[in-house]
Amino acid sequence: MREKAIVYVLDDDERIRTSLEALLSSVGYAVRLFEDPEVFLNSPKPDLPSCLILDLNLGKSSGLDLQRSLAMDAALPVIFLTGFGDISTAVSAIKSGASEFLLKPIEEEVLLPAVTMALIEAQEQCNMRRIQQQTSRNYESLTPREKEVLPFIVRGFLNKQTAYELG
């Protein structure tokens, strides 16, 4: 999975960004670094399994606020990494969908498994999204009559039953 996955790092501390990049790159992950939430939000993101390592305190903005704005993109699991975490903030982050809430300084034995799990989750979500897109394309390719018959087939009706129901 590592050759196709991207780990985004959004932290306002350059030392943290570069150390995370060194660690994650050393084990084969593609890493993209950001210090500004707006730049991150506006950057193109390929349709690949990805996760975001997100600092809780981003200068003028909050990682929790960014997480809320990303909530529509369920395929991007968020791992919070902060030096100033408390229980209520951690609970709020997890309830809002964060994969993990980790404290700085972080050990690689803790971070790497968290990234692996987040990317597995992202891969599953990408697979589901592709299946849904293909299903939608298949449905749209049906004729109007086939769309009329489909609900009966899905419910297990026999041909005779479907014909009777449709008159």
Distance of CA 28 to the CA centre of its chain: 19
Residue 59 has pLDDT above 80, yes or no: no
Q: What digits encode the pLDDT tens for the residues 122-131?
A: 999 888 988 9
**How high does pLDDT run on average in the chain?**
89
As given in the structure block, the two tokens for residue 45 are 């993101």
The arithmetic mean of pLDDT across residues 29-36, rounded, is 94
Q: What digits encode the pLDDT tens for the residues 92-140?
A: 888 888 899 999 989 999 999 999 999 999 999 888 988 999 999 999 9
DSSP state at residue 162:
H
Tell me the residue type at 66: L
pLDDT classification of 53: cutoffs 50, 70, 90: very high
- How much is the pLDDT for 72? 65
How far, in Å, CA of 113 to CA of 110, rounded? 6
As given in the structure block, the two tokens for residue 110 are 């803790």
DSSP state at residue 86:
-
How far, in Å, CA of 107 to CA of 104, rounded? 8
Counting Cα atoms < 13 Å in the Cβ hemisphere of 95 gives: 6
As given in the structure block, the two tokens for residue 123 are 């891969």
How far, in Å, CA of 82 to CA of 95, rounded? 17
DSSP state at residue 155:
T
- How much is the pLDDT for 57? 84
The arithmetic mean of pLDDT across residues 57-71, rounded, is 81
Residue 68 has pLDDT above 70, yes or no: yes
Residue 54 has pLDDT above 90, yes or no: yes
- How much is the pLDDT for 33? 97
DSSP 116-134: HHHHHHHHHHHHHHHHHHH
Cite the beta strand spans of the chain per DSSP E: 6-10, 30-34, 50-54, 57-58, 61-62, 78-82, 100-103
b/e 24-35 (16+ beta carbons within 10 angstroms → b): beeeebbbebbb
Residue 73 has pLDDT above 70, yes or no: no
